[in-house]
Structure 1
Amino acid sequence: MVSTADHFNENNYRDIVFPLQSGRRFHRGQEAKVKKAKSESGTPVPLEDQLCYSIYSANMAIQRAYRPLLDGLGLTYPQYLVLNVLWAEDRRTVGIIAEQLGLESSTLTPLLKRLEEAGLVRRTRNPENERQVLVELTQPGRTLRARAGCLGDALLSVSGESAAELAALNTHVRHLRDAIYASIGGWDLSGR
């Protein structure tokens, strides 16, 4: 078996780590070179050695670890993410929540509707701009925060990693995400 390190060299590193769809351009005016990720021998890089798959499958594993706890709270993972945005700063516009989560407003609206039906949030028109909808936590939504705090403990428990190791990993993944978006344009969370 060829190791991950054998697949990477200075010439193909960006193509393996940052595969882009054909025709996509970098914001800095550079043409993105789209090549099939291959090792020096010309064989495709195995799925388990691709960074994008490792991050994707880790996300799926984390969601599976969280599912029993979220079921106990009556939440889906996307609903939990919306509540986290509001727990950090209540009374946000739909657009700001969508931007922070990297979602389209049209994707977010059904999530907010279900959270409102559950009595966790309230949606109202912004009196300063009637085109905007404000979302704020209800008292049950604020109270739920204390019960939802155990999710981080669950990840510590099932991962076998220390809090410091998970924090360092989170920092690295965030930097990677920000670097990718800085190159291709899009989601900008700087200053938040």
Structure 2
Amino acid sequence: MTNPETQDPPRLDDQLCFALYAAQRAVTAAYRPLLDELGLTYPQYLVLLALWEHGETPVKQLASTLHLDYGTVSPLLKRMETAGLIHRTRSPHDDRSILITCTPHAETLRTRAAAVPETLLSATGLGGTEVARLREELWGLAERAEGVAERAR
């Protein structure tokens, strides 16, 4: 049996959560200058990617797609509407549902934004195979962690 009083405390650099946190911050910082050229923040970019992929989307579905709760995505969407990037309208089929669509201005950004991922990958030196493996591992980790979080509720 291990004695907690004689055991070394956990080291920060040995924590998976800290490595993920540091990587997320570094990747977001690397995206910043590319997105600044488009006049977008990273969260706005993610919303637009989802809308460009799926088209008109209910807020609830958008929040689920982005793995965000409604309380987080709602203020983001309000700011994006004020910035002229999206429209929010009530669903004609359900007054409780708000539909999100891109504005013409956001659609004009689509072509320029298409170059962002490749530009970032090129700058980091990551190859396609490495990116695919890393993405697969991270989605697997996310799925496992979500399962743990669900069981803890």
Give the TM-score of the pair, scaled to structure 1: 0.71
1:151 deviates by 2.1
The number of residues matched between the two structures is 147
SS at match of 1:130: coil
Partner of 1:171: 136
Residue 56 in structure 1 maps to residue 21 in structure 2:
yes
Displaced runs of 4+ in structure 1, greater than 3 A?
A: none
Partner of 2:48: 83
Residues in 1 aligned to 2:79 and 2:119: alpha-carbon distance in whole angstroms: 25
Give the TM-score of the pair, scaled to structure 2: 0.88
Equivalences for 1:89-128 in 2 at 5 Å?
A: 89-128=54-93
Residues in 1 aligned to 2:53 and 2:8: alpha-carbon distance in whole angstroms: 46
SS at match of 1:155: helix
Residues in 2 aligned to 1:152 and 1:45: alpha-carbon distance in whole angstroms: 35
Partner of 1:71: 36
Residues in 2 aligned to 1:98 and 1:65: alpha-carbon distance in whole angstroms: 24
Query: Structure 1 stretch 115-124 or stretch 73-82: which is displaced more?
Result: 115-124
**Is the 8 Å Cα contact of residues 98 and 104 (structure 1) preserved in structure 2?**
yes
SS at match of 2:119: helix
Residues in 2 aligned to 1:148 and 1:157: alpha-carbon distance in whole angstroms: 15
Residues in 2 aligned to 1:120 and 1:166: alpha-carbon distance in whole angstroms: 29
- The share of aligned pairs that are identical, in percent, is 43
Amino acid at match of 2:64: E
Residues in 2 aligned to 1:184 and 1:64: alpha-carbon distance in whole angstroms: 28
1:76 deviates by 0.7
More helix by share: 2
Unaligned runs of 5+ in 1: 1-35, 187-192
SS at match of 2:9: coil
1:111 deviates by 1.4
Query: Structure 1 stretch 131-140 or stretch 98-107: which is displaced more?
Result: 98-107
Partner of 1:42: 7
**Distance change in 2, residues 1:74/1:52 (3 Å):** same
Amino acid at match of 2:49: N
Query: Structure 1 stretch 139-148 or stretch 82-91: which is displaced more?
Result: 139-148
Query: Structure 1 stretch 112-121 or stretch 65-74: which is displaced more?
Result: 112-121
Amino acid at match of 1:125: R
Partner of 2:125: 160
Amino acid at match of 2:23: A
Residues in 2 aligned to 1:61 and 1:83: alpha-carbon distance in whole angstroms: 21
**Is the 8 Å Cα contact of residues 73 and 148 (structure 1) preserved in structure 2?**
yes
1:57 deviates by 0.6
- Cα RMSD between the aligned structures? 1.8
Partner of 1:133: 98
**Is the 8 Å Cα contact of residues 69 and 151 (structure 1) preserved in structure 2?**
yes
